[in-house]
Amino acid sequence: MAVPSRTITEDDARIIRALIKAGWAQHDVASLMGCNPGRVAEVWTGQRHPGVGFADLADARVKARLAEIQTAWVLRIGTQMAAVHGINSPDVAHV
């Protein structure tokens, strides 16, 4: 069963817009945010969260939020890679 795309808050939308403006690809932003690329496109085009501006990526609060988002991404990817390589499988010997 597919995992539903997470809800994008207005603060997330500001970060999404700032990252794309800074040159990030929309699919990379979607991966980082843990959402469907379609949600990122909707934020970028204003279909979702219209009128929301850009986050200041140099702001300490935005940096802290990005650190949280990046940590969640690392944990998500690590879990997926472990599953792909059978690390959590009971029949695989752990070293």
Query: What is d(CA 57, CA 66) in angstroms, rounded to the nearest whole number?
Result: 9
Query: Residue range 17-26: average pLDDT?
Result: 98
Question: What is the reported pLDDT for 59?
Answer: 97
pLDDT grade for 76, boundaries at 50, 70 and 90: confident
Distance from the first to the final alpha carbon of the chain: 31
Identify the burial level of 14 via C-beta atoms within 10 angstroms of its C-beta, where 0-12 means exposed, 13-18 middle and 19 or more buried: buried
pLDDT: is 64 or 1 the higher one?
64
pLDDT in tens, 39-72: 999 999 999 999 999 999 999 999 999 999 999 9
Which distant-in-sequence residues (6+ apart) come within 8 Å of 5 by Cβ?
A: 34, 35, 36, 38, 39
Q: Looking at per-residue confidence, does 87 or 18 come out higher?
A: 18
Mean pLDDT score of the chain: 88
